[in-house]
Amino acid sequence: MSKQSSRTSLALSAIVTLALIASGACAHAAVRTSDLWWMPEVASKGGKDIDQLTYFIYYLTGGVFVLTQVVYVYFLIKYRSRKGIRATYSHGNNRLELVWTAIPTAIFIGLWGYSNHLWWDVLHAPSPPDTMEVGVLAYQFGFSFQYPGADGNLGQSDVKLIGNNNPFGNDPNDTATKDNFQSGILELPINKPVRVRLNSRDVIHAFYVPQFRVYQDIVPGRTIDWLWFTPTQLGSYQLACNQLCGSGHYNMKAQIEVVSQEDFDKWYKEKSAAAITAAGSTPARSK
Ligand SMILES: [Cu+2]
């Protein structure tokens, strides 16, 4: 490659890199206003453990990257072509190769064990008995939520029953489903475990809340009901779909409100009562 063309390609790659960084920053700026270059604040109980794993991998790979690049550049300079010095050929070193293969292998197996344990412990282990279950329906392009009503029990549901008149696929023969009520926002009490029962009406969507460090795909034709978490910070959050699910994907989101238990009980009572009234006057379908 000539000097001229290598300069041009260097300039081009610099421009592409800058453009990528700028677009990444803009994409983030659209949702977040703080911590643009780092992870958003943690707002769930297990989130800190997940962050620890992330930091560990980040600093480990970052350290290894810097170290190998330093050695690489050092060798480039030390063994560069010079007058009067002959290039020699190395047949390698079995012991060295064994060591630098064994160490990364051990690290990767360790990471596998550590993250597998976290995946189970933080997000998938059986939830505590006081867990509230909320139904989540994902569709092109939005989310809808269903709460258990006064009996605190969502009741049985089946993906085969999902339809226009039964968005959550509730089993009509299960009386526990009768007092369920729907909501357009995900209202959650602070410090209380919540399990989400995820269903999709059409294509693959996702349940993604960066502040909770929670991510789960929502797959049509199956119910995913093992994901649970405990919000630990009051405030508003955004539930976002993280699977490119169609033309309106960019706008597929829902509001999450983490409120005090007192405020939640008040909201729950009002919504629950309104749903019962609506069910009494018209066929069961509330907004
Ligand atoms: Cu989606």
Q: Which residue has the tokens 């297990």?
A: 46
What is the rounded CA–CA span in Å between residue 106 and residue 149?
A: 50
Please give the radius of gyration of the chain, using alpha carbons only, rounded to the nearest integer: 26
Is the same domain home to 141 and 46?
A: no
Span from the CA of 266 to the centroid of ligand 1 (angstroms): 31
Span from the CA of 101 to the centroid of ligand 1 (angstroms): 41
CATH number of the structural domain spanning residue 255: 2.60.40.420
In total, how many domains does the chain have?
2
Span from the CA of 205 to the centroid of ligand 1 (angstroms): 4
- 230 is in which domain, residue-wise? 132-281
Span from the CA of 254 to the centroid of ligand 1 (angstroms): 11
Is 176 buried (19+), middle (13-18) or exposed (0-12) by CB count in 10 A?
Answer: middle
CA nearest neighbour of 267 among 212, 193, 189:
189
Q: What percent of the chain has pLDDT over 70?
A: 85
Cβ-contact 33, 26 below 8 angstroms: no
CA nearest neighbour of 225 among 139, 124, 148:
124
- Could you tell me the pLDDT band of residue 287, with boundaries at 50, 70 and 90? very low
What is the rounded CA–CA span in Å between residue 237 and residue 253?
A: 10
Span from the CA of 220 to the centroid of ligand 1 (angstroms): 11
Q: List, for residues 82-134, the tens digit of each pLDDT value.
A: 888 887 778 889 999 999 899 999 999 999 999 998 888 887 788 888 999 99
Question: Rounded to two decimals, what is the model's pTM?
Answer: 0.75
Q: Is the pLDDT of residue 58 over 90?
A: yes
Q: List, for residues 173-184, the tens digit of each pLDDT value.
A: 888 888 888 899
Residue 162 identity: I
The distance between the two most distant Cα atoms of the chain, rounded to a whole number of Å, is 98
Is the same domain home to 74 and 139?
A: no
What is the rounded CA–CA span in Å between residue 183 and residue 57?
A: 39
Span from the CA of 161 to the centroid of ligand 1 (angstroms): 21
- Evaluate whether residue 5 is within a structural domain: no
Q: Is the pLDDT of residue 35 over 90?
A: no
- Evaluate whether residue 239 is within a structural domain: yes
Is the same domain home to 105 and 245?
A: no
DSSP SS3 for 5: helix
- Evaluate whether residue 152 is within a structural domain: yes
- Evaluate whether residue 90 is within a structural domain: no
- Evaluate whether residue 56 is within a structural domain: yes
- Evaluate whether residue 223 is within a structural domain: yes
